[in-house]
Structure 1
Amino acid sequence: MEAALRALADDSRRTLLEALADGPATAGELAALLPIARPGVSRHLRVLREAGLVEVRPEAQRRVYSLRPEPLAEINDWLVRHLSLWEQRLDALHTEIARGKRARRSTP
């Protein structure tokens, strides 16, 4: 999961993953989405592949990339556990704020 999180930290890699969420794409199609040279796009795709977020298959002279949802599902599960903790804390904070407002209104 750590490699996937590191890969997701980069805006260009997130752009590539968002494009792949719509379906497989060639390296050329993905390269057209970024304002960087092809070698840079290749490096980003390699990072995504090594993190397990995408898979690649050769198709004639092209490479076709596809999204692998399993690492994203693992990250989602981890986030859900932590989000529920924060939701509980924020709910408790909201309750305390409401109590403070009521106390101020009732004090002459």
Structure 2
Amino acid sequence: MSENNPLRDVFDAIADPTRRRLIRLLAEKEEIPLHELTAQFPMGRTAVSKHLTILKEAGLVLDRKVGRETRFRLNASPLREIQDWAAFYSKFWSANMLRLNQLLEEEEE
């Protein structure tokens, strides 16, 4: 799997709240072993591993073996696609806020 050709859509990968929390945890540290990640969730190691696999397929997580331990780290570059998508719609939010501001100013007068 390459970063340019992920096996899974990044939007699909972040759709689950558990996976979003995993991303947040990985963003807070450089690298985290699986057992430390598992301790943060009310589920077993297998369930956390499945979520990490989905994130890996989207290119959001990288892993490496250190002895018998697997360590994970965030690869945030695929999140750029989400940022770009949301940025396109920000003009609508800005326009709506401007209209709301104008309406509120008119009501004050």
- TM-score band w.r.t. shorter chain: 0.7 to 0.9
The secondary structure found in structure 2 opposite 1:70 is coil
User: Within 2, Cα distance between the matches of 1:9 and 1:47?
Assistant: 11
Deviating above 6 A after TM superposition, structure 1's stretches of 4 or more consecutive aligned residues are none
User: TM-score, normalization: structure 2?
Assistant: 0.81
**Partners of 2:55 and 2:46 in 1: CA distance:** 14
Q: CA deviation at 1:46?
A: 0.5
Query: What are structure 2's unaligned runs of at least 5 residues?
Result: 1-5
More helix by share: 1
From 61, 66, 70, the equivalent of 1:54 is 61
**TM-score with structure 1 setting the length:** 0.81
1:19 aligns with 2:34: no
Higher relative contact order (CA 8 A, sep 6+): 2
1:33-64 residue CA offsets vs partner (Å, 9 max, x unmatched): 11101111111011111111111111111111
Counterparts of 1:94 and 1:7, CA distance in 2 = 36
CA distance in 2, matches of 1:80, 1:24: 29
- Radius of gyration: which is bigger? 1
Q: Quick one: which amino acid aligns to residue 98 of structure 2? A: D
1:6 to 2:19 alignment: no
Aligned length: 102
